[in-house]
Amino acid sequence: MGEEYKYIGLRPFKLNVDFRAQPEKLQSYVNAPPGYQFRFSGIAGNRSLETVPMFAQTPSEVVWTNERNAWIVLGIDREKGITSGKGGKGQTQCGAIDLVAGRMASYARGHDDEGNPIKVNPDFVIDSARVYISQKSDIDEYFHLVDGKVGNPSAASAVGIKADEVRLVARGGIKLVTGTDMRDSQGDRIFESKGVDLIAGNDDSDMQPLVKGDNLVFGLLDMAAEIEQLREILFKFMEIQHNYNEKLFTHTHKSPFYGVDTLFDVGPAFGQGAKTLVDVLDTMIRGIVTHQTTFSTWQNDYLSPFGHSFICSKRNHTN
């Protein structure tokens, strides 16, 4: 017995609705010798007894499929029953290519409870994974997508991709480009270029524009310059006020007796004046110097391309 046979007993076998409707198929598998079981175990690319639904094919559709529920349908635009979509309504120029892996997903069944064959239509909600290409469709409605800022175009050529997880991988770069042509696939003039919507949770209730990094840097640099100027103004004011305070709390008056200068007030005014001078030198000026240092560090960290927290992406760009 080959090495691969040891996996037969470990393979979880799904008793789905189809097997319950046709118990002889399951029973023949369970009672078969290991060699037969392996040939229908699905291991190493062998055939499988998994359920594959039948497709409700229309006369204009060419269908390729296999016993593992993978499909290529060359036909007309439709997202469900035979009367849906642009093709189902009898329109022309609405050819479509529907690539599906896992029709009906975990609900897949080939027969009903009475053993009658089941034929299914495309299901853009349930089917496991799909790449849909249509010459003319209402693609957002098919996938039940919110309008976002780019809107919900009708009767437009479209490509839709849906799966549990979607990855776009490039060994070079990836470009998301809109507005390349002057006319659409129906020959109508395009008057405005739409942008790119990034929508999480299919919720467009609080969509906001993306920030342009360079413009943000320029704006923050201008604001930083204004803050620098404000600090210089404050420092100059403190310097002037300090000189005035110094003169004020030591000032004297002319005595009525022969115009002799009096002694300056050594009472509360003198004490408060001395404290104010010390506070200005120790607190305010030191704070200004500290602010200058921390502000310079902030600019270098966030607004310089060499900063460890530079606010612009080094690789990704938008317009």
Q: Which residue has the higher pLDDT, 276 or 70?
A: 70
**Mutual orientation of helices 213-248 and 285-303 as an angle, nearest 10°?**
170
Q: What pLDDT band is residue 18 in, cutting at 50, 70 and 90?
A: very low
Is 91 a member of any domain?
yes
Inside any domain, residue 224: yes
Same domain, 41 and 59: no
* Same domain assignment for residues 89 and 18: no
> Measured between alpha carbons, how far is 59 from 62 in angstroms, rounded to an integer?
8
**C-alpha to C-alpha distance for 317 and 115, rounded to whole angstroms:** 57
Considering the domain architecture, whether residues 138 and 62 belong to the same structural domain is answered as yes
Q: Which domain holds residue 149?
A: 54-162
Q: What is the mean pLDDT of residues 237-259?
A: 63
Verdict on whether the full-model pTM lies above 0.85: no
Q: Are residues 219 and 148 in the same domain?
A: no
**Cβ-based neighbour number of residue 136 at 10 Å:** 23
By CB neighbour count within 10 A (0-12 exposed, 13-18 middle, 19+ buried), where does 199 fall? middle
pLDDT tens digits for 277-287? Answer: 666 666 667 77
190 touches 181 (CB < 8 A): yes
Partners of 73 in the β-ladder: 63, 98
Domains contained in the chain, number:
3
pLDDT band with cut points at 50, 70 and 90 for residue 12:
very low
Buried b (16+ CB within 10 A) or exposed e, 284-317: eeeeeeeeeeeeeeebeebbeeeeeebeeeeeee
pLDDT digits (tens, 9 = 90+) for 42-83: 677 777 777 788 999 999 999 999 988 999 999 999 999 999
Residues 94-149: pLDDT tens digits? 999 999 999 999 888 877 778 788 899 999 999 999 999 999 999 999 999 999 99
CB–CB of 77/86 below 8 Å?
Answer: yes
Q: Is the pLDDT of residue 165 over 90?
A: yes
